[in-house]
Structure 1
Amino acid sequence: MLRHAERWVLRALEFSLVALLAGMVVMVFGNVVLRYLFNSGIDVSEELSRYFFVWLTFIGAVVVMRENGHLGVDSLVGALGDKGRRLCMVASDAIVFICCLMLLEGTWKQQAINASAVAPVTGISMAYVYGVLYFAGAGIALITLGRLFRALTGKLGPYELAEFAGDYSASPSHNLKGHLE
């Protein structure tokens, strides 16, 4: 049941990434065409495409974290055994979790400033633009906490240690992708 819900959430996030990217393409391309043909443009589309890019980046960071796709030092971790990999994973995830807490705290402290600042063209509160940091910080923190819990309780799948070392060939998500699409 949990895996099914997780898959739906991941699909919804991927769909939102596609929608944001498509919106950016339409707005930027539309502005290029308008400037080329009519020497005019839509100011709102310039501003919104920048905000879409911010949201795309941080939502994408959560999706990539879930898929273990962030950069890592695979050559070092790959040379270690299971115990060494597990130790590196726990240390890495602890650091990532602390960074997420710092991101959430900083976003909370900036909330009042962002809420009172408005975008120059659209007039929307900048809290809507930077509010994605709540989602990214909490999303990555939850994913990291889940993996930390599994690592510390011995419930970590062997494929997770392999993925942490840069080997995605044994991953269930790697094997499922062909069946889901």
Structure 2
Amino acid sequence: MNMIVEGYFKLLKVLIALFLAIMVVLVFGNVVLRYGFNSGITVSEEVSRWLFVWLTFLGAIVAMREHGHLGVDSLVKHLPSWAKRACLIVSQILMLYATWLLAEGSWQQTLINWDVAAPASGLSTGWFYGVGIVFGVSTGLILLVQLYKTVTGKLSDEELIMVKESEEQEELDALQHELGKRDGREALTNVPAQGR
């Protein structure tokens, strides 16, 4: 099962890179064709916009799994362990509800717009809204697994805070933790030398 999950997230990362590359080629190619040859790629703007929406949502799925989203942890990090757990459970339930609303709305919009053709490409505009379904299902499953781990107590105290105030603060905390470990090792190696 773990291999399937890892493969899925690797596929998402490949799709994000592919979508970004296609966007660059379409937009840059369109600019060169317009200014250099007085022509252009008709579907460039529309397809680039769709790909941008898809890569944003797919990136949000990957960030959700890797706890890459930023948040406010200034209150939660000072709470006792049981309160951190309670806050995390409440936030995960609220995120599940929001994810459900997004997935349900995307499903309805996909069905409504499935027979509507996009003006430039002629593709079904249902594909544009379909990313909300992919996001909702993927993120919902991630949140359910995280909620299960939280409720069953399988998370450590550090894992009970799933968001960080800023990336710089996270790097500073990791550096301080590493320096604390190094100082502790140096103190242990100096104790026997002082005792002699």
- Give TM class, smaller chain: 0.7 to 0.9
**Compared CA separation, residues 165 and 129, structure 1 to 2 (3 A):** closer
Aligned to 2:182: none
Aligned to 1:91: 90
TM-score by length of 2: 0.79
Measured after TM superposition, the shift of residue 158 of structure 1 is: 4.3
RMSD: 1.9
Map 1:74-153 onto structure 2 (within 5 A).
74-153=73-152
Gaps of 5+ in 2: 175-196
Measured after TM superposition, the shift of residue 162 of structure 1 is: 4.5
Aligned to 1:22: 21
2:127 alignment partner AA? Y
Aligned to 1:48: 47
Measured after TM superposition, the shift of residue 149 of structure 1 is: 0.6
**Compared CA separation, residues 165 and 32, structure 1 to 2 (3 A):** closer
Query: 1:128-174 CA distances to partner (integer Å, 9 max, x unpaired)?
Result: 111111100111111001000111111224442254456584xxxxx
TM-score by length of 1: 0.85
How many residue pairs match? The answer is 169
2:134 alignment partner AA? F
Aligned to 1:173: none
Instruction: Give the Cα–Cα distance (whole angstroms) in 2 for the partners of residues 162 and 96 of structure 1.
Output: 15
Instruction: Give the Cα–Cα distance (whole angstroms) in 1 for the partners of residues 156 and 125 of structure 2.
Output: 41
Instruction: Give the Cα–Cα distance (whole angstroms) in 2 for the partners of residues 24 and 9 of structure 1.
Output: 22
Structure number with greater Rg is 2
Instruction: Give the Cα–Cα distance (whole angstroms) in 2 for the partners of residues 22 and 75 of structure 1.
Output: 38
Structure 1 ranges of 4+ moved more than 6 A: none
2:18 alignment partner AA? A
- Residue identity over aligned pairs, in percent, reads 45
Measured after TM superposition, the shift of residue 82 of structure 1 is: 2.0
1:143 alignment partner AA? I
1:150 alignment partner AA? K
Instruction: Give the Cα–Cα distance (whole angstroms) in 1 for the partners of residues 10 and 106 of structure 2.
Output: 26
